[in-house]
Amino acid sequence: MSPEGEFRSDRVAVIGAHGRMGRMFCTRFRAAGLDVVELDQPLTELSLRAGLSEAGVILLCIPAAVFDSVLQQIRDIIRPPQVLVDITSVKVQPMHQMQRTYAGPIVGTHPLFGPEPKKDEVRVAVTPADGTDEACVAMVENLFSRIGCEPFRTTAEEHDEAAALIQGLNFITTVSYLATLAHKDEITPYLTPSFQRRLDAARKMLTEDAELFEGLFEANPSSQNVVRSFRNMLNIAAGGDVNVLVERALWWWREDNDTGGVRQ
């Protein structure tokens, strides 16, 4: 390990470099002129010691299921001032895991996009750990900015509540809706184009990414609360007050109502 002070802010070690997100970040970092070290399975002590040497930033692009085991592998290799960064879609749990393992600077992030983002889909939530130096946080934000992303700061708790509402609730309500309609062959003659569009939109989430979303739902401490909130909305519908829900849902088009126009 290089002595303190010889870590390079332009060298990023990516653990999980062969995954879809890892490959995307490695490609973009290199295109931005950064020195990128790729690390992936098998992660041996020899490869980790060599790969993490001199890296100013260590980026964990790994599933939540293996998060803690990878942290145990690198805990005796990394040291301050190296900045430990993750990209998991939940933040409270991995932030606690990183802080239990590493006494140096920690910056949690969540890129709000997939491995092939469009130009307007490049926001990155940034959740610094308590005690992490401002310069370290700014360095991580700058890394994302250099590859065209738009970082914004938040807290792990605020992030997870929002993620539970946007990602978790979308998954749970979709799978519950389709499970309700399953094994009812008699309804197939009545399927509408709008239903087919909803089915098409759900295909990848349930046929390819269900295990991922299940894990994120279980790891997010806000998941159960948002499901209870949704259940309250269903109770209103069961009571026949659908107009109450419609009025509440129109919040999403409030700007149209204010201007009298229709949002394009």
- 36-52 pLDDT, tens digit each: 999 999 999 999 999 99
The structure tokens listed for 252 are 């999403």
Q: For 147, what's the count of Cα atoms within 13 Å in the CB-facing half-sphere?
A: 24
Radius of gyration of the chain, Cα coordinates, nearest whole angstrom: 22
| Closest C-alpha to 170, from 221, 237, 216, 120 | 216
Dist. CA 46–CA 33, nearest whole Å? 26
**220 touches 164 (CB < 8 A):** yes
Provide the CATH topology of domain 8-154.
Rossmann fold (3.40.50)
pLDDT tens sequence across 60-106: 999 888 999 999 999 999 999 999 999 999 999 999 999 999 999 99
Residue 120 has pLDDT above 50, yes or no: yes
Q: Alpha-carbon distance 110 to 88, whole Å?
A: 6
- Tell me, what's the pLDDT at 254? 92
Q: Which two tokens stand for residue 135?
A: 């310069």
Q: What does the pLDDT look like over 218-261, one tens digit per residue?
A: 999 999 999 999 999 999 999 999 999 999 999 999 987 665 54
**pLDDT tens string 139-157:** 999 999 999 999 999 999 9
**Cis check: omega of the bond before 42, within 30 degrees of 0:** yes
- How far is 141 from 126, CA to CA, in rounded Å? 8
